[in-house]
């Protein structure tokens, strides 16, 4: 009987040790993520990024184009004010004539009608050029807005002349005329 008790005690001790080892193994497995779980999370993030990035780029292009159109409207308004303020000069012959930093008092070479960023010829992914001015007084002008990096900062090209109608084209504009479709 004494031997049986010892065997039973050893068996119980062995069972307790096995249970403790199993419990220890289960808790160490439950403390982290498996490689498969991590790979699944990375794959989901990549799919979401693949869907979101093109939409973000399209939104940025759309915002740049809207800024270019509004900048052309501001330039047209500035030309109208400039021409009525300086009738002997007519329309401004450069973007810098519409801008200025020392506006006390403004003059025909620095009228302070547009901000200096727009006067630099580049704003929101578009370049702006003023051409078509000649004579005294200047009776005509044309603004052309072109994307700095086509298909990245903008898709469309814009222009406007003294009639203040903003026109748009899918290809580069060399001369703004009525053949370029008016923006709707």
The most confident of 11-25, 55-69, 95-109, by mean pLDDT: 55-69
The token pair at 7 is 């065997």
Count of beta carbons in the 10 Å neighbourhood of residue 107: 13
Q: Which residue has 């053949």 as its token pair?
A: 179
6-10, 116-120, 173-177: which has the minimum mean pLDDT? 6-10
Q: What is the pTM of this model?
A: 0.74
In this prediction, residue 183 has a pLDDT band, given cuts at 50, 70 and 90, of confident
Is 6 a residue whose pLDDT tops 70? no
Q: By percentage, how much of the chain surpasses pLDDT 70?
A: 86
pLDDT reported for residue 33:
85
Mean pLDDT of 78-94: 94
Element (H, E) at 144: strand 142-147
pLDDT of residue 30: 56
- Partnered with residue 158 across adjacent β-strands are 145, 168
What is the rounded distance in angstroms from the CA atom of residue 150 to the CA atom of residue 130?
Answer: 20
Paired with 182 in beta bridges are: 167
């Amino acid at each position: 009987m004494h031997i049986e008790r010892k065997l039973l005690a050893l068996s119980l001790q062995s069972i307790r040790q096995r249970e403790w080892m199993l419990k220890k193994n289960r808790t160490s497995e439950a403390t982290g993520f498996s490689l498969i779980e991590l790979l699944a999370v990375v794959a989901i993030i990549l799919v979401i990024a693949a869907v979101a990035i093109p939409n973000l780029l399209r939104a940025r292009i759309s915002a740049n184009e809207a800024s270019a159109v509004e900048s052309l409207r501001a330039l047209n308004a500035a030309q109208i004010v400039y021409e009525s303020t300086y009738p002997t000069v007519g329309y401004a012959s450069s973007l810098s004539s519409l801008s200025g930093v020392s506006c006390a008092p403004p003059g025909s070479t620095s009228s302070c009608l547009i901000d200096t960023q727009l006067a630099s010829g580049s704003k929101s992914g578009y370049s702006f050029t003023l051409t078509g001015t000649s004579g005294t007084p200047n009776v005509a002008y044309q603004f052309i807005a072109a994307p700095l990096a086509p298909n990245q900062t903008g898709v469309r090209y814009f222009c406007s002349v003294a009639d203040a109608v903003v026109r748009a084209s899918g290809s580069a504009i060399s001369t703004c005329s009525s053949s370029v479709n008016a923006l709707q």
